[in-house]
Structure 1
Amino acid sequence: TGHAPAERAVTARPGGDDPAASGWVLDGMQSAVPWAQAADRIAVPAHTADGRTVLALVDPGRAGVTLADQVSTNGERLAEVRLDGVRVETHEMIDAAGAWEWLRSLLTTGTCALALGLGERVLAMTAEYTGKREQFGFPVATFQAVAVQAADRYIDLRAMEVTLWQAAWRISTGAGGPLPPAGDIAVAKIWASDGVRRIVQTAQHLHGGFGADTDYPLHRFHAWAKQIELSLGPAAAHEAALGDLLADHPLS
């Protein structure tokens, strides 16, 4: 669900049980890793005994690595990656302070951009369909009940857009604000997760039975939207994170 931080699922021990050995030893499991089967390296966040998060670049063919096939909601190939005493050399580790947090910020903001693009396309499909579909001699888009729902989803899109650009701006410029950049990223993901879900649900509703036809692409967008909604944490997880930030940085 994204409520459990990915970096807590794997542990990293310097040198393993041999204090004279170099490198790190990884133990744990990561689920829903995209295209791990085809990757040359898998970026695995792991936590250390002293509370730091490091990023390991793991060869999927290395001893101790087990991949189990998984399939995402939209049919994308995923894998469960199990690590059992996997040794990683020092040059394959990124242990700079904040490296994982930076990467997670970029991935989350990129996911928000995917949600916005998907939502734009789905609302355009809906506008086109309701403009052509006639009932009682008029296009259904002219009915107030349809127009109001479409307008609400357009408002969602514009909120998704402005919060996405705010997060991207904070990351790229390092500009200050009342909260750390993580606050803007959380707001963007809340809007992206909730917004894209509402958009595809409304699109299905306004398409009627036609939206359930598997010869029409709307059902694929719906499945992809559900994956984006939950990827890197659903809205509820980011609301909790935002609440923690507000508690630590009270707004005056």
Structure 2
Amino acid sequence: MDAESLPYALDLVAGSGICLSPEKRAALRTSLLLVQRDYRFEQVRLWGRIRGIRGAYYIAEGLGPDRAGPRSRLYSLNCVDWSLLPPPSGEMITSTAALKGRFQGDPSYEYENYDKKEEGEKPYEEEIGVMVKEEIRLVITVDQIDKAVGIVPRGAYIKTPLGIVHENRSFEGLSLTEAKKLSSYFHFKEPVNLKNKTLLEKADLDPAIDFLDSLEHDIPKELKLGPPTWKLQQKGQQKLKDQE
């Protein structure tokens, strides 16, 4: 949600039961515009809210000239004061991989994470506990959610010959036919499958638009809800084929 149009965007999602008090709505819009000015971002968006036991984290992200470039993320506990989150790293991912359960709502809260013993270690050796702050867990959680569900429609962003990604101002949305296709949606992150395609497969792609990985060949992970989700996707594709 863009900071400038935040009140209208919040009204659109209020029908799902997700709403904020008038005080927080006003504080969010004012404080985010101040963040945009102080940090000199081209655009500031409200990423979302993560609820904890003692409080909630309000997450915002600041964007620069390259919309696909690194993003600066901030969090607030009161919708007024914002703190900059550090960029995610491999060490952070390793230290927070075993953490489960709800957030506490306190960025200074420390989790005690025990390293797993490797094969060959003596069984009587005590496990060494590593203290991990909840702020670090928040960084990794937001980053993983963004990579997993960050999806944009085809044509919403364009890539210049210099490699910079901009919003396509002439994009007016997908047609009804295109909106039903998985190939019309992209993961808004660094492409992986696109790099493995052959030149023949890339022949029909537009480098200015098709520079991200499509959802067309996604396979859900083997989780408890994975197989049913994949079946629903297959049924949806078969239904579309029948309609065509």
Same topology, TM > 0.5: no
With the shorter chain as reference, the TM-score category is: under 0.3
Higher helix share: 1
Higher RCO (CA < 8 A, seq sep 6+): 1
User: What is the TM-score with the length of structure 2 in the denominator?
Assistant: 0.26
